[in-house]
Amino acid sequence: MNLISPKILYHYTSSDGLLGIMHGKVWVTQIQYMNDSVEYEHGMYLASELVQPLLSDTDTKIAEISKAMAINLNIEVNGELSKENRSWPRYMVMSLTEDGDLLSQWRGYCHEGGYSVGFNVDELCKNLQKYKLYLGKCVYKKEEKQACVQGIIAKYIEKYSGTIELTPQDKNDINISFIREVRLLAAYFKHESFAEENEWRLVGTVSADAPFAKLRTRGNMLIPYAELDVEFKKNVVSVTTSPGVDLKKAREAIRFFGYQIEGKPLDVPVNMSKSTLVS
């Protein structure tokens, strides 16, 4: 995965979302509750497909290592189906993109009008460092996804293939650390049809009892999310209004907010989208 990010990445959001960011908060949402959560599940099945053939490898050591890797995947090992679906890991995600004025993003995330918030990537990552979020670029092509998972599999085979005999502790270490890496990787997988978005994600785990872990509603669904602290003035470098949002009024409102927090207008540029929103 490419870790050399652009200097600025953009987050598309509603007026409520922008107001939250202005007040120093960003939201990260549990991945299973996101619109494209099926891609996360697909990543887990992809790992299962790649590990499955290794269970009967002629090299008995590779087969043994693979069985340890398969314990938390949806694979039958020794006549028993693993319990991958027993609980959900609480990976929280914030979506960002390289393009701050993309028509498909306005349509997808700002149905009633909204904003594209440009973040200084270095400052944002530094700001959120205490939450242990990992920034990575999404992977879209199937062969690239397979290569990423195969890289993790190969790492464990190389690490343990020279071991004379796998101890119970070795097997436990393999199944826990392997599934943790695969789950984190799967959080960056998206369907190839979304490649235009050039999405990057901040991904990390949040325990249910963390003081910043919360629930919100969307329709009839409860959505687990976390509310993280950011410094608006230090982190945000631009705001772009979607088609249909009054630019002059948006600029004046943001200036007004600046007087509230520091007695002078904010110097964040507020621009109008160059897209034409056509249904």
Predicted pLDDT at 74: 67
pLDDT of residue 163 exceeding 90, the answer is no
AA identity, residue 21: I
Q: Which residues pair with 216 in a beta bridge?
A: 223
Q: Which residues pair with 223 in a beta bridge?
A: 216
Residue 203 domain-assigned (yes or no): yes
- What pLDDT is recorded for position 257? 86
What total of structural domains would you count in the chain?
1
1 domain residue, yes or no: no
Q: 215 in a domain, yes or no?
A: yes
DSSP at 212: T
For residue 3, being part of any structural domain is answered with no
Cα–Cα distances in angstroms (integers) from residue 115 to residues 13, 94, 266, in the given order: 5, 15, 17
Sign of CA dihedral 53, 54, 56, 57: positive
- Looking at residue 39, its pLDDT comes to 78
Residues 25-61: b if buried by 16+ CB within 10 A, e if exposed: bbbbbbbebbeeeebbbbbbebbbebbbebbeeeeeb
More confident residue, 104 or 120: 120
Mean pLDDT, range 177-203, rounded to an integer: 93
**Residue 77 in this model has a pLDDT that exceeds 60:** no
Write down the pLDDT at residue 3: 61
Q: Residue 72 domain-assigned?
A: yes
Q: What mean pLDDT comes out for the span 211-220?
A: 93
Q: What is the sign, positive or negative, of the torsion defined by CA atoms of 207, 208, 214, 219?
A: positive
Q: Is 219 left (phi over 0), alpha (psi -120 to 50) or beta?
A: left
Q: Domain for residue 36, yes or no?
A: yes
Report in angstroms the alpha-carbon separations of 50 from 46, 148, 189. Answer: 6, 11, 16
Determine the structural domain holding residue 244 and report its residue range: 8-272
Q: Alpha-carbon distance 179 to 162, whole Å?
A: 21
Residue 279 lies in a domain: no
Residue 10 contacts residue 100 (beta carbons within 8 Å): yes
In a domain, 2, yes or no: no
| CA 29 to chain CA mean position, Å | 9
The whole-number pLDDT of residue 277 equals 58
Q: What is the reported pTM?
A: 0.88
Q: What is the mean pLDDT of residues 252-265?
A: 82
Q: Which of 95, 77, 75 is nearest to 85 (CA)?
A: 75
Q: What is the pLDDT of residue 85?
A: 45
Find the mean pLDDT for residues 124-153: 94
